[in-house]
Structures are given as C-alpha cells and as structure tokens.
Amino acid sequence: MTTTEDLRKKVRDFLASHPFTPRCDSWAGAYDPGFSRELAHAGLLAVSWPEHLGGGGGTAVDRLVVTEELLRAGAPLAAHWVGERQIGPTLLRHGTPELQEEFCPPLARADRTFALGMSEPDAGSDLASLRTSAVRDGDGWRITGRKIWTSGAHLATHLYVLARTSREPDHHDGLTEFIVAMDAPGITVTPILDLRGEHHFNEVALEDVYVPGRWVIGRVGEGWRQVVGQLAFERGGPERFLSTYPLLSAVLTAGLVDDTARRELRALAARLQILRAWVLETARTLDAGGAPVVQAAMSKYLGNRFELSVIEWARPLMPRAIPAVRALYDQALAASPASGIRGGAAQVMLSMIAKDNR
C-alpha cells in the first residue's frame, strides 16, 4: 500500500525530473498539455478514480496530497484541471457506465480537456436563471445559447454545458447537464482578454449544436441538484489557498524576510495549517460519498482571504526582490481580483455559510 508520504515523495521526484518555470495561479493560468500527459503517465493524475477507468484506485485524500505538492511547486496544471477535478468525479457519481468508459480513461490520460459552460451574460451568481436551452432531436438534443467567462474554451476538446430542458415553476428545476464536443458545428468561441491582455477566458455561442443522447450527464431535469454537488469539487480543494504559495516560498528562499515579515509569517503559517486541515476534512467527506458544499464554500472564502494576505505580506519586500520573485508577485497580484469571483463570488459564499443551519 502506498502511504501518504510515499505519494508525496513520488510527486516531488516527478517535479524534480520535469523542469518548468514555477507560476502563481498555475492551475488556472499555466496550460501545458505535455506536462499533464507526463503526470498521467507517471500515475499522478486521476489518482482517486477506479483503476478500470484509468485512475489510480486511491482516495480523494490521495488526490489532495498530489495536488497540494503540485500547486505548492507552481507546476503547470491548467490543461487537465477541470476534467480531472470535477468532470471525471461528476461522471463517476452521475454518469452511466458507458459514459464513464467513454470519457474517464482519456481524461485520466489528459488526452481530452474540458471547459466549464455554466455562467451566462445574465446568469452568474444566480446560475439557475440561465437561458441556454436544449430541445430534443430524435435520440439527441439541440443546444442554443451563450456561455461567458469560459476559461480555456479555445483550447478544450469538450465543454460541460448546463442548459434548460423544460420550464418549471421553480427555475432550479428543468436543468440538465451535457457534454458538448468543441468541434461540433454551431459553436463559436470569441476571446475575452483579461486585465493583463492575456487570453484566458471566452464567450462561447452555441447555435443549434447537436449533442448525442448518451452525452447527457445523469438525469434529465436533475441538473441543479447534480451541479450543486459538483461545486464541492470545484470549491473545496487546496487551489483556493495555494495559488500564491510559489510567491510565499520564493520570498523565503530568496532571504527577503525582515523582522516584521517574520512576525506576520507566523500568523500566515497558522492560517495555512487550518486551511490544510479543513480541505483534508472535505476530502474525507468526499471519500465517504458526501457533497460538502458549505464546507467547500468556507475553504474557498477563507482561502481567498489567505491568498490576499500573502500578497499584502510580500508587497513591502518587493523592492529588494530579484526579477523571478517579482514575476511571481506580479502574477499573484494580477490574478487576485478574479480569485474572489471565479467559482462563485465571495459574498455568495458568505451568504451560503450564513444560511447553513446545521
């Protein structure tokens, strides 16, 4: 049996033999399909999926160990991130065995890549008000609508789409989850540049796009209940507080820490340990088959506050920093406005936590 420490060592050995330039926010901003395939080849992708579907047969806790090491190092993870973090696990929970067999093994090899088509121009925090619709066409479906802020859609092979399949009194009902091939006729991807002028997200227009019936995830009309469970995978992982870790680590290695920074570092270290304990608890709940949505909202909110604190901590030290450390600071700073929005706005996380009456 592989122990946690063996697994951690395996990741560190892999990182030592696969050179890359460390980046902050590497799970969202550093796209390298070759690196993702190498990770898969080394048995470090989809470690929590069943072996017969190309996974490692391990647990969500094993995956946490692997991702923690990769994120701390600032390794390029964006190519496989959405597919491995949440599409595969969603298929394992809700997909038919045929759908799992069709998609999980190529996702586990990083041969297929996913973008997330949830948000729309008039549906972000209130996702259930989305207007993209799917109507039946023989055995399949035709999807028409617009998705926005779709990270990596210009690079992905497939798109996860949440669409309305019927009108119901409660707008949370009548939604369905689909898989769409990005090369299907009727899809137009328009780049949206971020404040750095970088092409990361897009607007995706779907015009009468055909989707085979077998590419429905789970049950027709049950999309809301299913997607809420998916949000635990999306929000509850260590990427919500380790995006700025490469900066923290580089500042320490470069010997930039003065007395004030050293005092503040103790508080940061304590907060980091609390967040680590919290995501470990989340991973254990996932392993037990739960959907810890509120727990995930807490780690996303507190993780985001932690990342902002790391940037504030590093700021006064930057005038003495070498260019490589300064570059990490710039990446962290440029990504910071988005961190409290992507995957769900901070205020919405607070609202969910406040309403939880357990």
Residue of 69, 177, 234, 239 marked catalytic: 234
Of 190 and 347, which has the nearer Cβ to ligand FAD? 347
Q: Does 119 bind ligand FAD (CB under 6 A)?
A: yes
Q: What is the per-residue burial (b if ≥16 Cβ within 10 Å, else e) of 186-200?
A: ebebeeeeeeeeeeb
Q: Binding ligand FAD by CB under 6 A: which of 116, 209, 231, 275?
A: 116
Q: Per CB under 6 A, which of residues 309..348 are in contact with ligand FAD?
A: 338, 341-342, 344-345, 347-348
- Which of 149, 233, 278, 313 lies at the binding interface for ligand FAD (CB under 6 A)? 149
Q: Is 234 a catalytic residue?
A: yes
Q: Single out the residue of 36, 114, 21 nearest to residue 77, CA to CA.
A: 36
Among 26, 86, 150, 299, binds ligand FAD (CB under 6 A): 150
Q: Which is nearer to ligand FAD, 15 or 179 (CB)?
A: 179
C-alpha gyration radius of the chain: 20
Measured at CB, which residue is nearest to ligand FAD? 124
| Backbone dihedral angles phi then psi of residue 136, each to the nearest 5 degrees | -65, 145
Structure-token pair, residue 104: 């999980």
**Which tokens belong to 290?**
């739960």
Shorter beta-carbon distance to ligand FAD: residue 70 or 153: 153
Residues 53, 99: Cα–Cα separation, whole Å: 11
Task: With CB under 6 A as the rule, give the number of residues binding ligand FAD.
Answer: 19
For residues 266 and 351, what is the distance between their CA atoms, to the nearest angstrom? Answer: 30
- Contact range with ligand FAD by CB under 6 A, out of 15-23, 73-81, 119-127, 167-175: 119-127
Q: Does 151 bind ligand FAD (CB under 6 A)?
A: yes
Looking at residue 33, its amino acid is P
Query: Rule CB under 6 A: is residue 351 a binding residue for ligand FAD?
Result: yes
Q: Is the Cβ–Cβ distance between 181 and 189 less than 8 Å?
A: no
Nearer to ligand FAD, 14 or 31 (CB): 31
Nearby residues of 65 by Cβ (< 8 Å), 6 or more positions away? 4, 7, 8, 11
Q: Which of 21, 96, 125, 188 binds ligand FAD (CB under 6 A)?
A: 125
- C-alpha 247: how far from its chain's center? 20
Tell me how far apart the alpha carbons of residues 334 and 116 are, in angstroms, rounded to a whole number: 22
- Among 33, 43, 124, 186, indicate the residue that binds ligand FAD (CB under 6 A): 124
Residue 168 has what DSSP assignment? -
Choice between 100 and 132, CB closer to ligand FAD: 132
CB of 78 to ligand FAD, least distance (A): 11
| 118 sits near ligand FAD (criterion: CB under 6 A) | yes
Q: Of 149, 158, 180, nearest to 110 (Cα)?
A: 158
Q: How far is the CB of 121 from ligand FAD (least distance, A)?
A: 8
Q: Which amino acid is at 98?
A: E
Residues marked as catalytic? 234
Applying CB under 6 A, the residues found at the interface with ligand FAD are 115-119, 124-125, 149-151, 201, 338, 341-342, 344-345, 347-348, 351
